[in-house]
Amino acid sequence: MNTDTENIDLYVEYWNAANYLAAAQFYLKENPLLRVPLKPEHLKPRIRGHWGSAPGLNLIYVQLNRLIQKTKAQFLFITGPGHCSSAILANLYLEGTYTEFYPEVSQDIDGLTLFCRQFSSPGGVPSHLSAMTPGSIHEGGELGYSLLHAFGAAFDHPQLIVAAVVSDGEAETGPLAASWQSINFLNPLRDGAVLPIFHVNDGKLSGPTIFGRMEDKDIAMFFSGLGYDPLFVCGDDPQKVHADLFKALDQSYLAIRQIQAEAKEKGLKAKPKWPMIVLRTPDGWTGPKEVDGVRIEGTYRSHRSPLMDARENPDHLKILESWLKSYRPEKLFDEKGKLREDLLALAPKGHLRMGASPYANGGSLLVDLALPDFTEYRVPVKQPGTSVSEPTHVLGKYIRDVIRRNPKNFRIFCPDETDSNRLSAVFEVTSRCFVSKIFPDDDYLSPDGRVMEILSEHCCQGWLEGYLFSGRHGLLVSYEAFAMILDSMASQHAKWLKLYREIPWRKPVASLNYLLSSHVWRQEYDGYTHQGPGFIDTLINKKGNVIRIYLPADTNTLLAVMDHCLRSRNYINLVIAEKQPSLDWLDMDEARAHCARGASTWLWASNDNGKPDIVLGCAGDVPTLETVAASWLLQKYFPELKVRVVNVVDLMILSPPAYHPHGIDEQNFINLFTTSQPVLFAFHGYPRMIHDLIHGRPNPARFHVRGYQEEGTTTTSFDMVVLNKISRYNLAIDAIKYALKSVPHLRTKGEELIGFFERKIVEHSTFVRTHLDDMPEIKNWTWSNPITS
């Protein structure tokens, strides 16, 4: 390989052009090449942007360009500090991809004017990277996920090298700190490579960074211990730093190719020692040295665009002008306002340009999953509520066959709970992925495994996001309670998707599918910390065209729901399902029809003949069990009362169609819930949410919701529903109370029965404390014709 760094000056000139444009975007709405003296009216009224990291990012981009030119390798660029988007935009514009995606931003003075003007402006381009940015799958707004996205994109993309810039502030976050360990899951025989470039500029918002103040030797030990081979590039002399990074990149590239070749030749012996680069350059390098006697360059004070008041302050306007002119734009751009030809020649061409990487527009690479026929995994259901199966256990067989049929573009991501959530059937065809020491005694552990288990919900989500946005499919499996760890990541993902859907050149990607099990009602083993249904609440607030929430009540319904999710695009699908043996309600045909509708009246569980005194609504497996059992109790002991059971599997059907596309129309809503009868609704999660959803429906105040009330501990499963007042007995009592208002002639009997069920609750509480287990009549309950029994 040619390691000639002699024409380094040319790269420095290209870099100057990028630095110039990175800065110009903050300030200029006119006069983009400073061809006339800078005046206040050329400046934007609101100066916005982040400068500190920009020169470092530009350096990396320019030197990667050179490496790509030389090697023709396929690179994807990830920018940890996404706030420095003006640097990336500058490079996209210079290399020509920006203009290809947005032709109005042409390669001339007019285009350049628009390019600068639109940055951070109303109706323009946001101050951070976003789905609007060509070549980007990573926003970098909420810091911490750059390396995870990089690894996610590299999995199963053997041709790809992902260059991931991690900033030193970002490196203080938890998710980023955990993600260095991702090399324990990267297999050089089937995956691409990740080249972390750790940008230690010693600045964050308003102070130095931890890594910025560590010695090189300590940083080197830290990364060596993790299993990397760190190369250091440090300094502030442009020529020298360019030359050093040039060499470090060449060396890294060679090391990557060597690791890959060696693995191919000799097989994978041990965790490879992957190269990485530690780049120490000054914060705000080449920017104003000092303003008003305060040092700027080389300090955190460069983080945001300096000289924000240049429009009002003539001295600052002067400094700004001479700073911008220091890059000598007149030498870099030709008469028309286009980058000089000899500089342009330094950038790669076509798809090799990082802004044009197909890996960054994952939909363009997406291949539909080859899905098995989910109905073949059905459990037979002769009579509702009489047979038992384990929903996620059965689903595991279906997922096993999804993996079998899609050996290169589907993975499971899970924080160490695949087995615990009973998806164990997947291990018949694959293993847990692990690229470190494996002992003969280990179960289902292999560098080829397609189950990505790391005890970090953040890593699971970050990897999956990278995997999806680069055009593949996946499933995240977690305990329900700890999905809340992902609240912010899921929110950011929903934001990205919302914008993504609006951009014509972004091709649809596979949905992010969550399967949450070991849920709030069945964590009586692990107790209160493990009981939290709050993840639904996070998703529910997101844009209606992005989120879907499913609460299948039994095995066949779960199968139908999951098949649907795996076929969908551009959504976040949340599926919450049971792992414990549970009663089956619907046979497969019924389950499919039920899912298609989103909610149905369960006639077999109702005795209302179209005129209910009370509607028992339910969503979620355990609330459904308790609701059906409550209906059974009422029909058995109180046949005069007319009860209807309505089960909801697609939560969003409750919402008026104006708020969510799945919302059913008013007539269908009335068909289920009537217009005015009381509804007692047993919900999987926090009860408030149902009140939200039905706002705008007829007579919302007649809905009475039961759900999780933040009561819990290690106890029996039935005790959990009693503690939260959502047990069959509580529901039966409340149903009678609400119904009696409309059937006052049944009052005496109703009140007697309320007393009876209240005594049942006391009986239960005594029983579990004495026998440490649930009453047989609860454990063994099944559906039967309540009238005859």
Ligand X SMILES: Cc1ncc(C[n+]2csc(CCOP(=O)(O)OP(=O)(O)O)c2C)c(N)n1
Q: Which of 16, 19, 120, 361 binds its own copies (CB under 8 A)?
A: 120
Burial class (CB in 10 A: 0-12, 13-18, 19+), 42: buried
- Counting contacts by CB under 8 A, is residue 495 touching its own copies? yes
- Per-residue binding letters, 708-737, with its own copies (x by CB under 8 A): --x--xxxx--x------------------
Instruction: Give the nearer residue to ligand X in terms of CB position, either 44 or 204.
Output: 204
Residue type present at position 18: A
Positions 625 through 654 that interact with ligand X (CB under 6 A): none
Q: Which of 12, 100, 114, 141 binds its own copies (CB under 8 A)?
A: 141
- Counting contacts by CB under 6 A, is residue 415 touching ligand X? yes
Q: Which of 203, 306, 471, 617 binds ligand X (CB under 6 A)?
A: 203
Q: Which of 3, 239, 386, 529 binds its own copies (CB under 8 A)?
A: 529
Contact between 112 and 196 (Cβ < 8 Å): no
- Counting contacts by CB under 8 A, is residue 123 touching its own copies? yes
Side-chain half-sphere exposure of 51, counting CA atoms within 13 A: 32
- Counting contacts by CB under 8 A, is residue 257 touching its own copies? no
Instruction: Give the nearer residue to its own copies in terms of CB position, either 75 or 185.
Output: 185
**How many CB atoms within 10 Å of residue 308?**
16
What are the distances in angstroms from CA 9 to CA 94, 238, 288?
Answer: 17, 9, 22
Token pair for residue 749?
Answer: 């009997």
- Which of the choices Mg ion, its own copies, ligand X, none does residue 541 contact, using the CB cut-off of 5 to 8 A by kind? its own copies
Of the candidate spans 10-18, 200-208, 573-581, 761-769, the one that interacts with Mg ion by CB under 5 A turns out to be: 200-208
Considering CB under 8 A, how many residues would be counted as binding its own copies?
A: 127
Positions 160 through 179 that interact with ligand X (CB under 6 A): 167-170, 173
Positions 289 through 348 that interact with its own copies (CB under 8 A): 295, 299
Positions 262 through 321 that interact with ligand X (CB under 6 A): 283, 303
- Per-residue binding letters, 149-168, with its own copies (x by CB under 8 A): --------------------
- Counting contacts by CB under 6 A, is residue 100 touching ligand X? no
Whole-number Å distance between alpha carbons of 252 and 31: 41
Instruction: Give the nearer residue to Mg ion in terms of CB position, either 106 or 167.
Output: 167
- Counting contacts by CB under 8 A, is residue 541 touching its own copies? yes
Contact between 202 and 285 (Cβ < 8 Å): no
Q: Which of 31, 113, 146, 167 binds Mg ion (CB under 5 A)?
A: 167
Positions 661 through 700 that interact with its own copies (CB under 8 A): 686, 688-689, 691-693, 695, 699-700
What are the distances in angstroms from CA 275 to CA 131, 185, 621, 753?
Answer: 29, 16, 49, 73
Do the strands 290-291 and 294-295 form a parallel or antiparallel pair, or are they unpaired?
antiparallel
Whole-number Å distance between alpha carbons of 478 and 457: 8
Of the candidate spans 78-86, 149-157, 348-356, 390-398, the one that interacts with ligand X by CB under 6 A turns out to be: 78-86
Whole-number Å distance between alpha carbons of 668 and 601: 11
CA dihedral for 151, 153, 158, 164, sign (positive or negative): negative
Token pair for residue 402?
Answer: 């999804």
Smallest distance, its own copies to C-beta of residue 136, A:
13
Residue type present at position 693: L
Of the candidate spans 231-239, 368-376, 456-464, 578-586, the one that interacts with its own copies by CB under 8 A turns out to be: 456-464
Burial class (CB in 10 A: 0-12, 13-18, 19+), 123: exposed
Contact between 111 and 99 (Cβ < 8 Å): yes
Whole-number Å distance between alpha carbons of 378 and 490: 31
Q: Which of 159, 314, 441, 789 binds its own copies (CB under 8 A)?
A: 441
Conformation bin of residue 275: beta by default, left when phi > 0, alpha when psi is -120 to 50? beta
Q: Which of 25, 31, 53, 538 binds ligand X (CB under 6 A)?
A: 53
Contact between 645 and 618 (Cβ < 8 Å): yes
Side-chain half-sphere exposure of 435, counting CA atoms within 13 A: 25
- Counting contacts by CB under 8 A, is residue 204 touching its own copies? yes
Print burial letters for 629-662: b (CB count within 10 Å at least 16), e (below 16): bbbbbbbebbeebbbbbbbbbbbbbbbbbeebeb
Smallest distance, Mg ion to C-beta of residue 106, A:
34
Q: Which of 234, 370, 455, 593 binds its own copies (CB under 8 A)?
A: 455
Positions 401 through 430 that interact with its own copies (CB under 8 A): 416-420
Of the candidate spans 195-203, 429-437, 569-577, 714-722, the one that interacts with ligand X by CB under 6 A turns out to be: 195-203
Among the listed residues 305, 244, 338, 337, the one whose alpha carbon sits nearest the alpha carbon of residue 55: 305
- Per-residue binding letters, 173-192, with its own copies (x by CB under 8 A): xxxxxxxxx--x--------
Considering CB under 6 A, how many residues would be counted as binding ligand X?
A: 27
Q: Which of 97, 179, 201, 389 binds ligand X (CB under 6 A)?
A: 201
Q: Which of 201, 305, 357, 556 binds Mg ion (CB under 5 A)?
A: 201
Side-chain half-sphere exposure of 774, counting CA atoms within 13 A: 16
In 454-539, the DSSP E strands lie at 473-479, 512-517
Whole-number Å distance between alpha carbons of 403 and 401: 5
Whole-number Å distance between alpha carbons of 273 and 224: 8
- Which of the choices ligand X, Mg ion, its own copies, none does residue 48 contact, using the CB cut-off of 5 to 8 A by kind? its own copies
Considering CB under 5 A, how many residues would be counted as binding Mg ion?
A: 5
- Counting contacts by CB under 8 A, is residue 219 touching its own copies? yes
Q: Which of 232, 444, 482, 604 binds ligand X (CB under 6 A)?
A: 482
Q: How far apart are the first and last CA of the chain?
A: 85
Residue type present at position 506: R
- Per-residue binding letters, 33-72, with its own copies (x by CB under 8 A): -----------xxx-x------------------------
- Counting contacts by CB under 8 A, is residue 526 touching its own copies? yes
Positions 740 through 779 that interact with its own copies (CB under 8 A): 765, 768-769, 771-773
Instruction: Using CB under 6 A, list all residues that contact ligand X.
Output: 52-53, 81, 83-84, 141-144, 167-170, 173, 199, 201, 203-205, 209, 283, 303, 415-416, 455, 479, 482
Instruction: Using CB under 5 A, list all residues that contact Mg ion.
Output: 167-169, 201, 203
